[in-house]
Amino acid sequence: MGDFVQSRTTTMNVIRFSDLCASGKARNQRVFIRADLNVPQDATGAITEDTRIRASVPCIQMALEAGAAVMVTSHLGRPTEGAFKPEDSLAPVAKRLGELLGRDVPLLADWVDGVTVAPGQVVLLENCRVNVGEKKNAEPLARKLAALCDIFVNDAFGTAHRAEGTTYGIAQYAPIACAGPLLAAEIDAITKALAQPQRPLVAIVAGSKVSTKLTILQSLAKNVDQLIVGGGIANTFMLAAGLNIGKSLAEPALLDDARAVIDAMKARGAEVPIPTDVVTAKTFAADAVATMKKATEVADDDLILDIGPETAAKLAAQLKAAGTIVWNGPVGVFEFDQFAGGTQAIAQAIAESKAFSIAGGGDTLAAIAKYGIEDKVGYISTGGGAFLEVLEGKTLPRLKFCRNVLQANNRLAYTPQKAACTAAFFWKKFGYTEIFRIVMSKLHFDRKFFRKKFSSLRNILRFANRKKS
């Protein structure tokens, strides 16, 4: 599987918060946890689905039990930097987090310049994306964030694809940066599912548009044994296969791309199953009348809103025979019960399959919750965009940083000589500005001595070259 495997297996080597806690290194330390608490809310602000909050509890509990002073923050929604509004507040999250932890969780505003919290206590820091400079990973903000803590813990896989102040910048300057249990579990699960899969490997990719997931489909087409498409994506693939889809959502401009994916799968002896029957309606509405049809009998005024029972049964059989299943997206408009049969059949098949399964994406989580199969899925990823980027074959910024830090630690035997060589390595990889940020903050040796001896890039490189010769 080539680069596809490599991009995932290398992410395994990260510093883990659990190891720091087990060794007593978190006791009496200020621990800053970046969690992903971005949960859906209704019009009144009430939380409608709390998977991400529940998933964040183990890390917080681990820090408290280790005797740390715990700070937790997250984004929520899409706030405007520097312009806090009541609807941006993490107050509902603080309430739910307190219920899950069995303790009061104070919510602190205006926290960037300082936080007071004692060992054994936990506070929630208001929406981090309100802070000016968060999204652009501004250095002044990152330095202020790092000054708040002794240990930075990234436990937010859902934001691991974004190089922001609380996900990446803080890690550059914090005395210790590590992966929380949720992030570490995500890494392990993704590696198991994609880098070291049991065959057959079946991927389900569904959504409204091919364009949003084209690169994912192209990447998976090179590696999976079955590529199941659903939703509007399936409509485009049906159209590419020469079927009439009526007035269904599709992207005619991407038919050649869809055909290329189909051909790439065929060339490997794999398959993109095209629906043989569908469930249609004349309108998109909760009370729309559902009609079962053969895929060849779709009328010009039909909307395809689900796969039919014949197709669902075929796909379910493939899933039950799979060794590994990756699931991103429902295959129909499952929010409407009359168009939920396909997604329910898929969910049930995954639950009954002996395969290792990993599922991710907001709609996927909602489907899992609707059909009550949480305990039957091998791993439920809390990451939406991050999960998709991993499927696409990208190396996430946060995981890349963790890996580079550990590599540097492994290269260094804590001597100034080897520190110089490591600095030279980072200079080639990142440029001058990153040398002291990474080497000085992450590696354990006499920093004062190093600063005095190697006061310039020229001295570092000269010393490193002399040592090599």
Known catalytic residues? Answer: 52, 209, 362, 385
Residue 120 phi/psi, 5-degree rounding, is: 90, 0
Instruction: Please name the residue ranges forming H helices in 148-273.
Output: 170-173, 181-190, 214-221, 231-240, 255-267
The partner residues of 303 in beta bridges, in order of sequence, read: 281
Nearest partner of 227 among 194, 273, 276, 263, judged by Cα:
273
For residue 287, how many other CB atoms are within 10 A of its CB?
A: 8
Instruction: Please name the residue ranges forming H helices in 79-138.
Output: 91-101
**Residue partners of 42: CB distance under 8 A and separation at least 6:** 48
Please give the full DSSP string across 7-34, using - where no structure is assigned: HHHGGG---BHHHHHHTTTTTT-EEEEE
Nearest partner of 32 among 165, 152, 176, 159, judged by Cα:
152
- Long-range (24+ apart) CB contacts under 8 A made by 388-392 are 388/213, 388/216, 388/328, 388/360, 388/361, 389/161, 390/8, 390/190, 390/194, 391/194, 391/203, 391/205, 391/216, 391/219, 391/220, 391/326, 391/328, 392/215, 392/216, 392/219
